[in-house]
Amino acid sequence: MPYRTLAGIAFVAAAATAAWALPPVGAVPPRVEVENVAARAMRPLPDARPVLVMYEDKDAQAQNDHARKVLGKITDRAENRARFEFAAVADVASWNWWPAKKYVLADLQKIAARENTVLFADWTGALRKAWGMKAHKSTLVLTGADGKVLFAGEGTLTDAQIAALVGELKKLGCRVD
């Protein structure tokens, strides 16, 4: 194969890989709006305060059960909620058609009420696409008050990744014990 062909293939492969990469630590991801399913209001991410985004579709729910247990102890504390916001975002782009959307919305509203939490819906996959997340992967992204990424992890997080995320939350002043 000629050198130019190989270089062209390498460039296309590198560009395709970069297109689906999470924003690196220190970067400011693009601002995207998601819908609060209870209030039926749009909310931008990132925002002017630290936000921990957990982004999942129905296929990715079990991938971060361990991380969810560890982080649940932190996010459930009232004093920590003053330091950062937890945003659970459902990737429901595959259900953005009538009449499916109304049933999915009703299910998300029931879950939010049962769990006493705020859930957000990404009806178009805009957040997933803008932030370079892979479909069917559980993703956790922590942004600071300046919008910069403090942590980003995708798929089942390792114990080291969970410890790094907890460390970043601790730097924000959260009680993590």
Q: What's the CATH code of the domain at 53?
A: 3.40.30.10
User: Mean pLDDT for the chain?
Assistant: 88
Percentage of residues of the chain with pLDDT beyond 70 = 89
pLDDT of residue 24: 96
Q: How far apart are CA 70 and CA 105, in angstroms?
A: 28
More confident residue, 13 or 78: 78
In sequence order, what E strands does the chain have? 32-36, 41-45, 51-56, 85-91, 119-122, 139-143, 149-154
In a domain, 32, yes or no: yes
Assess whether pLDDT exceeds 60 at residue 6: no
In a domain, 177, yes or no: no
Q: How far apart are CA 82 and CA 129, in angstroms?
A: 29
In a domain, 39, yes or no: yes
In a domain, 4, yes or no: no
Run of H or E residues at 166: helix 159-171
pLDDT of residue 61: 81
**How would residue 13 be classed by pLDDT, with cut points 50, 70 and 90?**
very low
More confident residue, 88 or 11: 88
pLDDT of residue 58: 87
Average the pLDDT over 105-114 and give the result: 94
Q: How far apart are CA 81 and CA 173, in angstroms?
A: 11
In a domain, 13, yes or no: no
pLDDT of residue 10: 35
Assess whether pLDDT exceeds 90 at residue 169: yes
**How would residue 20 be classed by pLDDT, with cut points 50, 70 and 90?**
low
- What total of structural domains would you count in the chain? 1
In a domain, 2, yes or no: no
* Range of weakest confidence among 7-11, 48-52, 115-119, 161-165: 7-11
**How would residue 177 be classed by pLDDT, with cut points 50, 70 and 90?**
confident
The parent domain of residue 92 ranges over 22-171
In a domain, 146, yes or no: yes
In a domain, 143, yes or no: yes
Which residue reads 């049933």 in tokens?
103
Assess whether pLDDT exceeds 70 at residue 66: yes
Assess whether pLDDT exceeds 60 at residue 93: yes
Assess whether pLDDT exceeds 90 at residue 152: yes
